[in-house]
């Protein structure tokens, strides 16, 4: 899953949400240089990534997407799962997606964030551009694919992911639902 999925599986803990997103910026054992709460977020991020990468329903669809989306089929699925989570948000959370994101964005303004400057810049851009607010739309999914494609250091087809995903939307939706049920059991607590 991408940003929204990582926030969701932080179980409504705003500090953990930020630390979870930091997981993409923290390589190797460098997370041990941070406070315990940040370490928990990085480890949660890695656990979520590992869980989705090894989930049988996800693997089955990712294999279908590998030919049209070599090297980026997993990324395309992560982005599409965030799209599906946003589109079906009311099935997963009591707050509206907008209200949930406002709480997160506001928290990043009032909380003293002791993270590296590149991550703080990312959080600032995320808050100001409100990317995740658009995830539920096809346009938002397309823009996510374009943005990530540009940031990758190798030639890729991610910009065309919406076209390549279209024939597999039913399979992706089924895999998403199966994954979410299993991931909720694994990561969500009462």
Read off the DSSP letter of residue 130: T
Full-model pTM: 0.95
184: pLDDT confidence band, cut at 50, 70 and 90? very high
Predicted confidence at residue 190, as pLDDT, reads 53
Please state, in angstroms and rounded to a whole number, the distance separating the CA atoms of residues 74 and 51: 13
Q: Is the pLDDT of residue 113 over 80?
A: no
Q: Is the pLDDT of residue 114 over 90?
A: no
Over residues 43-61, mean pLDDT: 98
Read off the DSSP letter of residue 155: -
Please list, in sequence order, all residues whose beta carbon lies within 8 angstroms of the beta carbon of residue 2, skipping any fewer than 6 positions away. Answer: 78, 79, 81, 82, 144
Tokens coding 135: 């995830």
Over residues 19-31, mean pLDDT: 95
């Amino acid at each position: 899953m991408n940003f929204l999925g990582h926030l969701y599986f932080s179980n409504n803990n705003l500090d953990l949400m930020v630390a979870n997103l930091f997981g993409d910026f923290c390589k190797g054992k460098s997370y041990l240089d941070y406070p315990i709460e940040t370490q928990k977020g990085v480890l949660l991020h890695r656990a979520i990534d590992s869980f989705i990468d090894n989930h049988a329903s996800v693997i089955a669809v990712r294999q279908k997407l590998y030919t049209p989306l070599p090297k980026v089929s997993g990324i395309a699925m992560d982005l599409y799962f965030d799209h599906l989570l946003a589109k079906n948000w009311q099935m997963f959370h009591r707050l509206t997606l907008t209200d949930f994101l406002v709480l997160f964005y506001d928290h990043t303004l009032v909380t003293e964030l002791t993270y590296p400057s590149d991550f703080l810049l990312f959080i600032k851009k995320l808050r100001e551009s409100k990317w995740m607010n658009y995830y539920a739309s096809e346009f938002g999914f397309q823009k996510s694919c374009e943005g990530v494609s540009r940031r990758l250091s190798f030639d890729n087809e991610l910009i065309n992911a919406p076209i390549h995903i279209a024939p597999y939307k039913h399979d992706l939706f089924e895999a998403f639902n199966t994954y979410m049920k299993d991931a909720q059991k694994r990561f969500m607590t009462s």
